[in-house]
Homo-oligomer: A and B are copies of this chain.
Amino acid sequence: MRALVLLRAFSRAKAHTLLFSSHCARRHCHAPAKRERAKGPRILGPDLPDIWRSPPLDSTHPPPPLIDANQEINPTIIDGNSIAEEIRSRTAEEVHQMKDAVKKIPGLAVILVGQRRDSQTYVRYKIKACHEVGIRSLTAELPEDCTEDEVVDSVSRFNEDPSVHGILVQLPLPQHMNEERILGAISLEKDVDGFHPLNVGNLAMRGREPLFIPCAARACIELLTRTGIELMGKHVAVIGRSKVVGLPTTLLLQRHHATVSSVHAFTKNPQDITRQADIVISAAGVANLVRGSWLKRGAVVIDVGTNPVEDPSSEHGYHLTGDVCFKEAVKVASAITPVPGGVGPVTIAMLLSNTLDSAKQIYGLNC
């Protein structure tokens, strides 16, 4: 009966979405959510009711190793570059089809404030990726000492520009700026980063659908599902709880019916929790935080960290390393993402995919 209710709510939500019209397009209103149209595994997970079985017996279940103690570990190194390439190819193809169908292409506007080298690098990657798939990119670069109003004005101009379908403000912003106000100024329909609280709320609530899911969270799920890793019923430890990665990843995993433990800097003995987990996703931003001893044998490890570590032998004086001590983890894990070449490229591919989705929605394609 509960399943019936859910199905009914689902089809009504769909009808509601189809009625979603342009009168709502420029307001931060209570917008009905659009359908997730990504091909492949449905990114929001299946709508399933919670039906509790009879209380289990009181037996003790020590967490079993995912791989037998005597079995040799031969871990899968999850190739983010190759998965990103697949997503980019599909995106490029759809951009091409859009151009044929409506003589339009998706447009992404990037706002960069100040001259942080890491931010400049990320923005360069994003623009290059847009170019590769045929998405038009626009950049607004503002000086570190500009006013908050100037940033909001930039956002407003892109909100009004019909050739722009996605807007992102590269974070972090300079300290004198109110991030909430600036991100809140982005039109909900162009919030391809998915950081608007209405998007976050709709991601959190089962049966609801956000307009956009934050890119890093989508990337983690894509990496897992494309590697054939089942999420339903799995115990996942998510380390870190930022709005960019940890929080939306936790919420999205719950939509896939994983059991999620959220580990953060206030967690006492985080390794006691991670050692119970079938999957560990780390987005703490601390180099080598997760040691091999933090992992259950056979665990799957997704490393979202990209931490610069001083390295005089490197061209730029540093190299990037993840949150996970790779050389230790690789001896215990059954599958693991490397840094670089793991989550990073897939996250950028998801940004392209979100921008394409936004343009398709606006042009009424496959909605």
Chain A residues with a Cβ under 8 A of chain B: 1, 4-5, 8-9, 12-13, 16, 27-30, 48, 50-53, 55-56, 58, 61-63, 175-176, 178-181, 184, 188, 196-202, 204-208, 232-233, 235, 240-243, 247, 251, 254, 257-273, 276, 284-286, 288-289, 291, 293
Q: Which of B9, B61, B284 contacts A271, CB < 8 Å?
A: B61
A205: chain B residues within 8 A (beta carbon): 197, 200, 243, 247
A180 in contact with B243 (CB, 8 Å) = no
Q: Which of B30, B196, B259, B284 contacts A266, CB < 8 Å?
A: B259
Nearest-neighbor residue (CB-CB) of A246 within chain B: B50
The complex places the Cα of A16 from the Cα of B286 at a distance, in Å, of: 33
Q: Which of B58, B179, B271 contacts A291, CB < 8 Å?
A: B58
CB<8 Å pairs between A and B, sample of 15: A5-B175, A13-B180, A27-B29, A30-B196, A50-B240, A52-B265, A52-B289, A55-B291, A200-B204, A204-B247, A205-B247, A254-B262, A259-B264, A261-B261, A272-B276
B233 in contact with A51 (CB, 8 Å) = no
The complex places the Cα of A260 from the Cα of B261 at a distance, in Å, of: 6
A241 in contact with B206 (CB, 8 Å) = yes
Nearest-neighbor residue (CB-CB) of A15 within chain B: B178
A284: chain B residues within 8 A (beta carbon): 50, 52
Further 9 A-B residue pairs, CB within 8 A, beyond A233-B266, A272-B276: A4-B175, A16-B178, A16-B181, A30-B198, A197-B201, A200-B205, A204-B247, A205-B243, A235-B273
The complex places the Cα of A346 from the Cα of B205 at a distance, in Å, of: 24
Looking at the assembled complex, report how far the CB atom of A293 sits from the nearest CB atom of chain B, in whole angstroms: 4
Q: Which of B51, B56, B197, B201 contacts A269, CB < 8 Å?
A: B56
Listed from nearest, the 9 A-B pairs whose CB atoms lie closest are: A197-B201, A201-B201, A28-B30, A200-B201, A50-B265, A261-B261, A58-B293, A257-B266, A259-B267
A61: chain B residues within 8 A (beta carbon): 269, 271-272
A5: chain B residues within 8 A (beta carbon): 175
Q: Which of B4, B9, B204, B263 contacts A179, CB < 8 Å?
A: B9
User: Do A235 and B199 form a contact, CB below 8 Å, given A180-B207, A241-B206?
Assistant: no
The complex places the Cα of A6 from the Cα of B198 at a distance, in Å, of: 21
A9: chain B residues within 8 A (beta carbon): 178-180
Looking at the assembled complex, report how far the CB atom of A263 sits from the nearest CB atom of chain B, in whole angstroms: 6
The complex places the Cα of A266 from the Cα of B258 at a distance, in Å, of: 7
Q: Which of B53, B235, B286 contacts A52, CB < 8 Å?
A: B286
The complex places the Cα of A153 from the Cα of B298 at a distance, in Å, of: 56
A267: chain B residues within 8 A (beta carbon): 233, 235, 259
Q: Which of B27, B50, B197, B258 contacts A202, CB < 8 Å?
A: B197
The complex places the Cα of A179 from the Cα of B273 at a distance, in Å, of: 37
The complex places the Cα of A1 from the Cα of B185 at a distance, in Å, of: 25
A254: chain B residues within 8 A (beta carbon): 241, 262
The complex places the Cα of A176 from the Cα of B241 at a distance, in Å, of: 38
Looking at the assembled complex, report how far the CB atom of A15 sits from the nearest CB atom of chain B, in whole angstroms: 9
The complex places the Cα of A175 from the Cα of B51 at a distance, in Å, of: 18
Nearest-neighbor residue (CB-CB) of A258 within chain B: B266
Nearest-neighbor residue (CB-CB) of A210 within chain B: B197
A270: chain B residues within 8 A (beta carbon): 56
